[in-house]
Amino acid sequence: MGPKSSELFAKVGVSTIEDLFYYVPRAYTDWTNVADVGSLRISDCVTVVARVISCDVLRRGRMQIFTAALEDDTGTILARWFGRRYIQRVLEPGTRVAVSGEVRFSRFARRIEFVNPSFEVIGEDDVAEGRIEPQYSQIASLSGGRIRGIVRTAIDGFLDQIVDPLPESVLGSRELPGLRESVADVHFPPSLERAARARSRLAYEELFMFQVLVALKKRQLARSGGAVQIVWRDDEHARFTGSLRFELTRAQRRVIGEIAGDLGRGEPMNRLLQGDVGSGKTAVAASAMHQAVASGHQAAIMAPTEILAEQHFENLTALLSPLGDRVVLLRGGMKAGEREEALGLIGSGEAQIVVGTHALIQERTNFSDLALAVVDEQHRFGVVQRAALRAKGSAPHILVMTATPIPRTLALTVYGDLDVSVLDEMPPGREKVVTAVRDEAARGKVYDFLKSEVASGRQIFIVYPLVEESEKMELAAATKMYEQLKEQTFTEATVGLVHGRMKPEEKDAVMDGFKAGTTDILVSTTVVEVGVDVPNATVMVIEHAERFGLAQLHQLRGRVGRGDQQSYCILMVGRGASDEARERIQVLADTNDGFVIAEKDLEMRGPGEFLGVRQHGLPRFSVADLGSDSRLLVQARDDAFAYVAGDPDMSTPAGALLLDATKRRFRGRGAFMDVG
């Protein structure tokens, strides 16, 4: 290709012929199965060649729905696309398109339609009767035909020069097709089945390679050695459990045992603790921190928000200072004097347990002897922060805790270098939070219910979503709502407002009022998302619930049901919410199982949004899809770990070839690239 095209390809990460081979189509136009619009029946999977006769864009909240009416000589059909903004720029009345997908019946429009079909804009004479044509993601101004031509040329000229990076053993045991066949089939498949098989092999290869990096990384961490050996002391643990207000659950005891095993080895622990909201992760962390102190070292716990750090500080002080451990708080909003004092205590080692926010990993914070670092609510931190924390000690043990149950596929990729413990049991006596989805029509009734709860002495959270791009507007809406609630609706109750733009002191004052019970109703933006523990709060109302991810809603719901009263979660859906959005939210009313919810959330939103952070350490996969390739991922992981165990230095010819290809493949795609 010419320099102009090659520049455009480079922008999408394709700069070699090998890259081009792995630039797989996002869909296919099946010209072997073309039908007339007039002959379509429900559930046909076909391609129609038609002209756009009209277009329409509908907005539902943040979701955009694009509808096009399509016509050929035999009839018309609707095609609808959800949330794909680029389509608006591509389709307009008069455009000729080939649309492929399943024909469905719309109960709403009372006619047949395509929903999110694949499509391709085509010229007047552009038909490829009898072939299956690849459709690639748009690359700037390059036409689909041009991209196809370039790929075709590359395959014709160079396919026989590529070498399969997968070890023979793996190819054999998984019965995978060879690389050359797969590349040819994925771009120009003789059938859709062959295309799927080829894609699956290439996805497997990508996941396998990634897991090879993970396995190598894990070995490297383990071999770095030099960790402080913390020999578990049963007498100290007995003192610890003696000061708890409750018996540890069986799951807590099991996980504590796993951690004790890790701490006693000379290698640094790297463990992920997953446990649903309220499963009691703090007590587990506290037991390990106490052991670190008992063996003469420092421990730290890092929380994502100031409110949560402070809460940990209070809880850990109450729990551990009676045992003689000195607990110190370090957070961003401290006065200079206070901060200097805290930093001094941390540097001298007088601070045995340090609780903090990101301030813990800032340059100025120096520990005297950090042996155990706990990271709470991991989904806010990425690999980068984990590494920064690790650098605060010499090979400290690391325990990462998360309340967002992480679907297995993500756990195995983002946290693939960690060992995993799960708290799969709730402390006894927890009532299930009753969850209901309500709309505007029910608002009056909802308020009556809230009034009756307040009258019987309970407290209430009302949460507003903050959407990043329109934070100001949303904040104005939350503030206005707050004023209305305070002055008109809940005249008998005390209402407080807390949001992210407040100064820390103001925030603290409001939170303190709520914790102390002097405030009945706390209106907030999502700052309550993580951690606050107010057992007397029994109702969580979430406004515009459709704008939240399911995992996030589940987290918010976890703020209630912490005491012994029956608690409620009311999910208010806004006027513009679509049926799809309601259905999505309904999942929360149907289950309390965080893992089920997380899997659904991942399915619906994809991994990037699910994690909701920029620095999540997730590589960009070009073929594999973490949402739908979970079975492949588990296989790839098993195979990769087994392979690395047998060839730990990747020094056999097959290993060297594989490592080389892997590094080439993940260059510039983040995650674990410091290996080898």
Query: Which residues here bind ligand ADP, judged by CB under 6 A?
Result: 246-249, 252, 275, 277-283, 403, 427, 533, 562
In the complex with ligand ADP, the residue whose CB is nearer, 533 or 647, is 533
Which of 9, 18, 12, 11 is CA-nearest to residue 663? 18
Smallest distance, Å, CB 303 to ligand ADP? Answer: 10
In the complex with ligand ADP, the residue whose CB is nearer, 100 or 555, is 555
Smallest distance, Å, CB 600 to ligand ADP? Answer: 21
116: left (phi over 0), alpha (psi -120 to 50) or beta: left
Rounded to the nearest 5 degrees, what angle is found at the Cα of 308, between the Cα atoms of 306 and 314? Answer: 105
Q: Edge-to-edge strand order for the sheet containing 419-423?
A: 327-330, 353-356, 298-302, 370-375, 397-402, 270-275, 419-423
Rounded to the nearest 5 degrees, what angle is found at the Cα of 207, between the Cα atoms of 424 and 673? Answer: 95
Listed in order, strand segments (DSSP E) in 519-585 are: 521-524, 537-542, 568-573
Smallest distance, Å, CB 625 to ligand ADP? Answer: 31
In the complex with ligand ADP, the residue whose CB is nearer, 217 or 281, is 281
- Per the CB < 8 A criterion, the answer to whether 572 and 588 are in contact is no
In the complex with ligand ADP, the residue whose CB is nearer, 77 or 532, is 532
Q: Quick one: CA dihedral 613, 619, 620, 626, positive or negative? A: negative
The C-alpha torsion from 492 through 497 and 503 to 509, rounded to 10°, is: 40
- Per the CB < 8 A criterion, the answer to whether 81 and 87 are in contact is yes
Q: Is 449 helix (H, G, I), strand (E, B) or coil?
A: helix
In the complex with ligand ADP, the residue whose CB is nearer, 319 or 636, is 319
In the complex with ligand ADP, the residue whose CB is nearer, 544 or 562, is 562
Smallest distance, Å, CB 353 to ligand ADP? Answer: 16
In the complex with ligand ADP, the residue whose CB is nearer, 427 or 517, is 427
In the complex with ligand ADP, the residue whose CB is nearer, 256 or 572, is 256
In the complex with ligand ADP, the residue whose CB is nearer, 126 or 533, is 533
In the complex with ligand ADP, the residue whose CB is nearer, 487 or 564, is 564
Question: Residue 451 and residue 178: Cα distance in Å, rounded?
Answer: 67
Smallest distance, Å, CB 117 to ligand ADP? Answer: 43
Smallest distance, Å, CB 422 to ligand ADP? Answer: 12
Smallest distance, Å, CB 315 to ligand ADP? Answer: 7
Q: Is 522 helix (H, G, I), strand (E, B) or coil?
A: strand
Which residue has the CB atom at the shortest distance from ligand ADP?
280
In the complex with ligand ADP, the residue whose CB is nearer, 251 or 671, is 251
**In the numeric block, which tokens belong to residue 9?**
């390809």
Smallest distance, Å, CB 14 to ligand ADP? Answer: 44
Question: Residue 638 and residue 206: Cα distance in Å, rounded?
Answer: 14
Smallest distance, Å, CB 357 to ligand ADP? Answer: 16
Residue carrying the six token digits 């104005």: 476
**In the numeric block, which tokens belong to residue 245?**
């207000």
Name beta bridge partners: 421.
273
Smallest distance, Å, CB 667 to ligand ADP? Answer: 39
Contacts of 423 (CB under 8 A, 6+ apart): 249, 251, 252, 255, 273, 274, 275, 276, 279, 280, 281, 284
Smallest distance, Å, CB 246 to ligand ADP? Answer: 4
- Per the CB < 8 A criterion, the answer to whether 462 and 314 are in contact is no
Residue 220 CB neighbours (<10 A): 14
